[in-house]
Amino acid sequence: MVEWIVSEGLTDYDDAVAFMEDRAARIAAGEAGECIWLVEHPPLYTAGTSAKREDLTDPDRFPVYDSKRGGQYTYHGPGQRVAYVMLDVGKRGHDVRRFVQQLEEWVIATLDEFNIKGEIRDGRVGVWVERNDKPLTVSGAVAEDKIAAIGIRLRKWISFHGVSINVDPELEHFSGIVPCGITEHGVTSLVDLGLPVTMEDLDVALRRRFDEVFGELPAEA
């Protein structure tokens, strides 16, 4: 069984990384089960392994943490649900690409609970929603905003880090970075899209949709 932990209040980022690394090591050693940990952080920026320094446009605004997850710069803060995913990818098929696709499917299925159509775009990490209520982009395309970010790391085939979904964060806080290195599109949230969704609503949807995407950990042979 996957253990679900929901932390109240704001979780320090360094404490979160320490917890994940310890739990991942214990899962790999067979000393602990898989875990999904739902948190909120105080305002901060994280730099993934592909981050470009020029994309940190306001380096003095919030604390900046170098993260060993994949991806570029992202923002975490109050009103954003971060789901840290500590799962045994080795026992779930040894397929990292498929695992990332499952994370995307999980987020999209969760958004569908609120009648939001989340979509994936080639070359753009994360989950996006079309904004027909906004002007076309400079290239003449339909405007799209990012509603969820994805960034993971694997150690001994155990995942950590995970996904973040914007419920009702201060969207202006994203202006201190170029989120994931993408300048043409913006950022949105469930509340920004006109949905009075609470963090608890999202948590229920995340848990409800998890099993249909990931299923149970396969039994030992």
Ramachandran assignment for 15, one of left (phi > 0), alpha (psi -120 to 50 degrees), beta (any other): alpha
CB contact set of 47 (below 8 Å; sequence gap of 6+): 56, 64, 65, 66, 67, 72, 73
Active site residues: 180
* 158 assigned ligand-binding residue: no
Q: Does 198 belong to an annotated binding site?
A: no
70 is in an annotated binding site: yes
128, 121 contact by CB (below 8 A)? yes
Q: Is 74 annotated as a binding residue?
A: yes
Is 41 assigned a ligand-binding role in the annotation?
no
Phi and psi for 125 in degrees, rounded to 5?
A: -70, 150
User: Is 71 within any annotated ligand binding site?
Assistant: yes
Within 8 A by CB and 6+ apart from 68, the residues are 49, 153
48 is in an annotated binding site: no
Element (H, E) at 80: strand 80-86
**151 marked as part of a ligand binding site:** yes
Tell me if 24 is assigned to a ligand binding site: no
Q: Kindly report the CA angle at 124 between 87 and 56, in degrees rounded to 5?
A: 90
| Residues contributing to the annotated binding site | 69-76, 149-151, 162-164
| Residues contributing to the annotated binding site for substrate | 69-76, 149-151, 162-164
